[in-house]
Structure 1
Amino acid sequence: MYTGRDFSAMYFILPIVMVGVGLGFILHELGHKFSAMHFGYWSEYQLWPVGLIIALASSFCGIVFAAPGAVYTYANFLDDRTNGIISIAGPVVNIVLAIIFLLIAAAVYPMAFFSQTMQIIFLVCSLGFTINSYLATFNLIPIWNLDGSKVLRWNGLIWIVTIAISGIMTYLSMTVGVEGIIKILIG
């Protein structure tokens, strides 16, 4: 998606994108798992190979529909509150991770003009912010079996607040850009 279908650029951009995607995806799923464990439930990740293929294929079309699997919580009965808390854990992890990436990007931004290493760190963090903002927003859509449907069923106000935060972050990353956000933040 970020290479403009230039396959030679993929060798450069893939490792950079994988930091944001890899951390975002793994930590999102671990957020669900540890939340379920907090409530005493067994949970585990299950791969959905069709979803992995869809994610890869859709990335070549300029938009990513990523659903390569999910953490499943095993319980005889799971009330809406507990299910909502377990479900919101993943998007909250993505929001926090996006903010961490933004703070690191802001910290290295002045040095990125003078150092190629800092430029790469800034790029990794910029993409990490954008990717994790998007992952949170996407997962909070209240459809099908996405986290948003379970959070909304539990508590509409919490759903509105979290999707507003992630939605604003996603919107800003796609319109103003991370460099623009940093310039606004530091004045």
Structure 2
Amino acid sequence: MLKFTKNEIRDLIIAFLVLSVAFAISNVKLDAHQFVSILPIVMVGVALGSLVHELGEKFVATKYGYEAEFKAWPLGLLIALASSFIGMVIALPGSVFTNDDNRDDEINGRIAIAGPMANMILAVLFIVIAALIFPLKTYSDVFTLIYLICTVGFSVNSFLATFNLLPLYTLDGTKILKWNAKIWIIIFAISAIMLLSSITIGAEKMVQLIITGI
């Protein structure tokens, strides 16, 4: 069973709030009305995305017998907020730290890959739910809201997975690449395709293509 310290819960909440605001600003800039409208929708995708990412890494680390704790990175959160004004969120909320820094590359890689994989799985779940909800949109505003949450959730989690897989600085991609280059290439390619699809095709168009295919 995963255990959380008070500091960890505080850091998770702070990271969630800052990332939610950042992703909302990146979509609507400083339009107050649109910001208020989109924030709740973005918060679901960011909340789940951030939590499953960190919890995935924490879970795997715990399975290997380590004590793991998420710690927010204040500078990284400021970078995320500042970058949102140019329409692209550089998400560096923090990392999961363990009580042993002398782990080998394989364990480091396995822990690191859990976060992006969790985001990718969540993104797929979001787009599938969106496809199932799409025919029901005309019947209720609730279904329309769920549909919007799911399409945004797909895009946000595709971005979080791809961004964290970049082999830069302390991002997960660096640890995965150091452990197994082939696995990193495969996972990064899949996440990049998902992200590019959300950007070029759009989540809503993807839903229509899925429904047509079915």
TM-score (norm 2): 0.84
Q: What is the aligned counterpart of 1:28 among 40, 43, 53?
A: 53
The SS at the match of 1:179 is helix
Distance change >3 Å, CA 76–CA 117, structure 1 → 2: closer
Aligned residue for 1:60, secondary structure, equals helix
Identity, % of aligned positions: 49
Distance (whole Å) between structure 2 residues aligned to residue 44 and residue 185 of structure 1: 39
Letter in 1 for 2:49: G
CA shift in 2, pair 1:6/1:76, >3 Å: closer
Q: 1:27 to 1:75 in 2, by over 3 A?
A: same
Whether 1:136 and 2:161 are equivalent positions in the alignment is yes
Structure 2 residue matching 1:111: 3-state secondary structure: helix
Amino acid at match of 1:37: T
- 1:104 partner SS: helix
For residue 21 of structure 1, what is the amino acid of its counterpart? V
1:82 aligns with: 107
- Structure 1 distance, partners of 2:174, 2:43, is 27
1:46-105 Cα distance to aligned partner (Å, 9 max, x none) = 111121122112112211011121111221521111110000000000000001111110
- State the AA in 1 paired with 2:98: T
Q: CA 1:57/1:76 → structure 2, altered by over 3 Å: closer, same or farther?
A: closer
Aligned equivalent of 2:170? 145
Residue of structure 1 equivalent to 2:84:
59
1:92 and 2:110 aligned: no
Q: What is the CA–CA distance in structure 2 between the aligned matches of 1:161 and 1:131, rounded to whole Å?
A: 20
Amino acid in the other structure paired with 1:135: L
Runs of 4+ in 1 over 2 A off after TM superposition: none
Tell me the alpha carbon deviations over residues 33-54 of structure 1, each in whole angstroms, 9 at most, x when there is no partner: 1100000011101111121122
Which residue pairs with 2:208 in the alignment?
183
CA distance in 2 between partners of 1:175 and 1:116 (Å): 27
- 2-side partners of 1:53 and 1:146: how far apart? 17
C-alpha RMSD of the superposition: 1.1
When structure 1 is superposed on structure 2, of 82-91 and 46-55 the one drifting more is 46-55
Distance 1:127 1:74 in 2: 36
**2 CA distance for matches of 1:139 and 1:120?**
28
How many pairs are equivalent?
A: 187
Whole-angstrom distance in 1 between the partners of 2:149 and 2:99:
36
Query: How far off its partner does 1:5 sit?
Result: 2.7
Whether 1:157 aligns to 2:182 is yes
The whole-number CA distance in structure 2 between the counterparts of 1:7 and 1:183 is 31
The aligned counterpart of 2:27 is 2
| 2-structure distance, mates of 1:137, 1:25 | 13
Take 1:116 and 1:3, find their aligned partners in 2: how far apart are those partners? 22
